Amino acid sequence: MAKRMLLTRMGKKPVIKTEIFEIKEVPSKSVHIAVSYAGVNFADVLMALGLYPDAPKPPAVPGYEIAGKVLQAGKGSIFKKGDSVAAFTKFGGYSDEVILSDDQVIKLPAAMDLKTAAAVPVNYTTAALALKSMARVRKDDWVLIHAGSGGVGTLAIQIAKTEGAKVITTVGSQVKIKTAKNNGADYVINYREQRFEEEVLKITNNRGVDIILDPIGGKILKKDFACLSDTGRVILFGLSDMLKNGKGSKLGLASSFFKSLAFSPMLLMNRNAGIFGLNMLEFFGSPREQVIKDYLSEGINAVAKGKIKINIGAEYNLEDVYQAHLDLLSRKTIGKSVLKCR
């Protein structure tokens, strides 16, 4: 028998319960995986709060990424029993066993441990999509990365530096400043003590930055534009502005949304600048789905070869997922949080 964490009620006081279930059959070109670790992402928190529009209705199992070993391969599968694998799950990852189609799964290099592998799919792919596919980062670009000590932020810093960019990042504490610097940031701004938009202009001699990665949105977008150079690109991949004081609501979502609508086409044209939105979930099942598979493979190989390092800041037992969400929501975490599933 297997177990999974079932979200039975969404909202300010979500209910997540352990459910025992059984996997009886493995479809063709699919694999039955014993999950060792699952990644925890901000989107999981939004799903629990009822603020993620694309999430399935409860009862549902959160979780976008896992790593583990193949227990059984279906007919025609390219995998075999015992293979170490990582995968995108598109919900359902908070479980100690899953069934996934082959095209969601990647075989891991022999030397890669499963905890590290579980931290790669969502964060690396998000950072790579933002910087490489959307912002088209180039050598000597100035890049501003908000939340530089988080799961996406630490990887985005490393990717940008690999591409030859100069990196400025924002964080909220002295401990997080150290984390950002350890991952290669050239300049780190404590947004609790300094106005980041003013500091960015000082650092760049009033030139501004070419690229901004923003998981916050809301009123921060206006400040982003204040320090964006001509032909600059803002990649918006989150709206954590909606969650004030550790709480989230549809009112907060609406408020953050309308704060983010202050940019008319004329303003963008006059500034010769642009805003891109990124929701990785929308790539699943789309004509461009292969791009996230390619970035997953790239990320796994880069980590295995030591070119990119993973920062795992917290590990929780599967049953402690609610605490994992609370810590992420309250910005206590540094780097990536993972669930130990068995």
For 177-207, what is each residue's pLDDT tens digit?
A: 999 999 999 999 999 999 999 999 999 999 9
pLDDT digits 0-9 by tens, 279-332: 988 898 899 999 999 999 999 999 999 999 999 999 999 999 999 999 998 888
**Residue 262 forms part of a structural domain:** yes
Q: How far apart are CA 272 and CA 40, in angstroms?
A: 37
**Residue 290 forms part of a structural domain:** no
For the segment 145-166, the average pLDDT, to the nearest whole number, is 98
Q: How far apart are CA 138 and CA 160, in angstroms?
A: 8
Q: Which domain holds residue 317?
A: 2-119+310-340
* pLDDT score, position 246: 46
Ramachandran angles phi, psi of 84, nearest 5°: -85, 130
Structural domains of the chain, count: 2
Q: Lowest-pLDDT range, 87-96, 140-149, 205-214, 253-262?
A: 253-262
Does residue 53 register a pLDDT over 90? Answer: no
**Residue 304 forms part of a structural domain:** no
Comparison of pLDDT for 169 and 255, the residue scoring more: 169
Signed CA dihedral, 261, 265, 271, 276: sign only: positive
Are 194 and 249 contained in the same domain?
yes
Domain final residue pick, 281, 298, 329: 281
**Residue 286 forms part of a structural domain:** no
Count the neighbouring beta carbons within 10 Å of the beta carbon of residue 73.
21
Are 109 and 155 contained in the same domain?
no
Name the DSSP class of 47.
H
94 touches 38 (CB < 8 A): yes
Q: Lowest-pLDDT range, 77-81, 86-90, 122-126, 251-255?
A: 251-255
Are 46 and 66 contained in the same domain?
yes
Are 275 and 323 contained in the same domain?
no
CATH of the domain at 105: 3.90.180.10
* pLDDT score, position 20: 97
Does residue 10 register a pLDDT over 50? Answer: yes
Q: How far apart are CA 148 and CA 164, in angstroms?
A: 17
For the segment 138-142, the average pLDDT, to the nearest whole number, is 98
CATH of the domain at 175: 3.40.50.720
pLDDT digits 0-9 by tens, 204-251: 999 999 999 999 988 898 899 999 999 999 999 987 766 654 455 555
Q: How far apart are CA 207 and CA 251, in angstroms?
A: 37
Does residue 36 register a pLDDT over 60? Answer: yes
* pLDDT score, position 260: 53
Are 80 and 177 contained in the same domain?
no
Count the neighbouring beta carbons within 10 Å of the beta carbon of residue 70.
20
* pLDDT score, position 257: 52
Are 128 and 148 contained in the same domain?
yes
Q: Strands of 201-299 (E only): list them.
A: 209-214, 228-236, 274-277
**Residue 322 forms part of a structural domain:** yes
73 touches 101 (CB < 8 A): no
Against a cut of 0.85, is the pTM above it? yes
* pLDDT score, position 272: 80
Q: Strands of 279-335 (E only): list them.
A: 312-317
Q: How far apart are CA 241 and CA 155, in angstroms?
A: 22
Are 245 and 175 contained in the same domain?
yes
Are 105 and 127 contained in the same domain?
no
- Provide the pLDDT confidence category of residue 266 given band limits of 50, 70 and 90: confident
Are 133 and 89 contained in the same domain?
no
* pLDDT score, position 245: 44
Comparison of pLDDT for 87 and 238, the residue scoring more: 87
Q: Lowest-pLDDT range, 49-58, 147-156, 265-274?
A: 265-274
Question: For residue 105, what are its two tokens?
Answer: 């799964």
Does residue 150 register a pLDDT over 70? Answer: yes
User: Could you tell me the end-to-end alpha-carbon distance of the chain, in angstroms, rounded to an integer?
Assistant: 13
Tell me which residue of 217, 198, 218, 216 sits closest to 208, measured CA to CA: 198
**Residue 29 forms part of a structural domain:** yes
Are 6 and 46 contained in the same domain?
yes
* pLDDT score, position 250: 53
Q: Among residues of the chain, what percentage have pLDDT more than 70? A: 93
Are 105 and 137 contained in the same domain?
no
* pLDDT score, position 244: 56
**Residue 35 forms part of a structural domain:** yes
* pLDDT score, position 262: 61
Query: What are the CA-CA distances from residue 173 to residues 82, 176, 177, 209 (Å)?
Result: 43, 5, 6, 23
**Residue 299 forms part of a structural domain:** no
Are 44 and 115 contained in the same domain?
yes
* pLDDT score, position 142: 98
